[in-house]
């Protein structure tokens, strides 16, 4: 099957929202977007469904010397998920993992402050949480988010992305209540290949989108 490119993350969010319309208008639904790239996508989903938008912070742990290859990820709440296959394959030592994790923890804390400020995290218990990103590759980062969210005892966890490899989506079928990958290209090499415009989302864009959605966020809980 041939897939057309998304124009940008806004276009991707609007198309993804069509696959989530059964959640529209429900009072116990919250869209949590993974910054930075997931926020423009999540914003369109939240608007279409008329539900609150917020963020959930996750940081990839890049492998030493091969930073693009995820050896794991960390998430808000002190959650850490390791990709044991990568750790074993590259023979990554524990002290190397700790060094990378400490650095990424600092960046996670910085972004939490920049994006959220003094605004508290919404209450997730007994809520339906739709976790949104601009796509999945290995799924390691999203998996860390799922583990962290589950500890908050939500009613339901949904992972929704515009594009991902079919095998990555299938891995989530037993980990979440629902996985929605709008497109699953057969030859998936890099996430950016499926967007005409894949420019990096800035901190300012994230803050702006969250600011516009804050009226809804304050109503949660």
Taking only the tens place, the pLDDT of each residue in 125-158 is 999 999 999 999 889 889 989 998 998 899 999 9
Q: Is residue 63 part of a domain?
A: no
Taking only the tens place, the pLDDT of each residue in 108-123 is 999 888 998 888 888 9
Q: Is residue 98 part of a domain?
A: no
Tell me which residue range forms the domain holding 196. 9-56+121-217
CATH of the domain at 208: 3.40.50.2020
Task: Tell how far CA 17 is from the center of its chain.
Answer: 15
- Whose tokens are 């300012």? That residue is 204
Number of domains into which the chain is organized: 1
How many angstroms separate the CA atoms of 67 and 24, rounded? 38
Q: Which residues of the chain have pLDDT under 70?
A: 1-3, 215-221
Cβ-in-10-Å burial (0-12, 13-18, 19+) of 116 comes to: middle
Q: Is 159 helix (H, G, I), strand (E, B) or coil?
A: strand
What global pTM score does this model have? Answer: 0.86
Q: Is residue 206 part of a domain?
A: yes
Q: Is 57 helix (H, G, I), strand (E, B) or coil?
A: coil
Nearest to 149 by CA among 164, 136, 130: 130
């Amino acid at each position: 099957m041939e897939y057309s490119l998304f124009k940008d993350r806004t276009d991707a969010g609007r198309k993804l929202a069509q696959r989530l319309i059964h959640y529209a208008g429900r009072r116990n639904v919250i869209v949590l977007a993974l910054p930075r790239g997931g926020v423009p996508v999540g914003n369109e989903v939240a608007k279409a469904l008329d539900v609150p938008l917020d963020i959930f912070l996750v940081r990839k742990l890049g492998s030493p010397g091969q930073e693009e290859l995820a050896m794991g990820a960390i998430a808000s709440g002190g959650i850490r998920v390791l990709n044991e296959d990568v750790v074993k394959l590259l023979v990554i030592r524990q002290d190397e993992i700790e060094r990378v994790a400490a650095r990424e923890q600092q960046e996670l804390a910085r972004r939490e402050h920049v994006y959220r400020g003094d605004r508290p995290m919404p209450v997730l218990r007994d809520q339906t949480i739709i976790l949104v990103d601009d796509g999945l590759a290995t799924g390691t980062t999203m998996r860390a988010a799922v583990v962290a969210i589950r500890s908050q005892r939500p009613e339901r966890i949904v992972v929704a992305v515009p594009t991902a490899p079919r095998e990555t989506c299938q891995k989530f079928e037993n980990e979440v209540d629902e996985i929605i990958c709008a497109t699953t290209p057969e030859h998936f090499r890099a996430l950016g290949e499926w967007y005409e415009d894949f420019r990096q989302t800035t901190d300012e864009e994230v803050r702006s989108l969250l600011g516009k959605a804050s009226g809804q966020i304050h109503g949660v809980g």
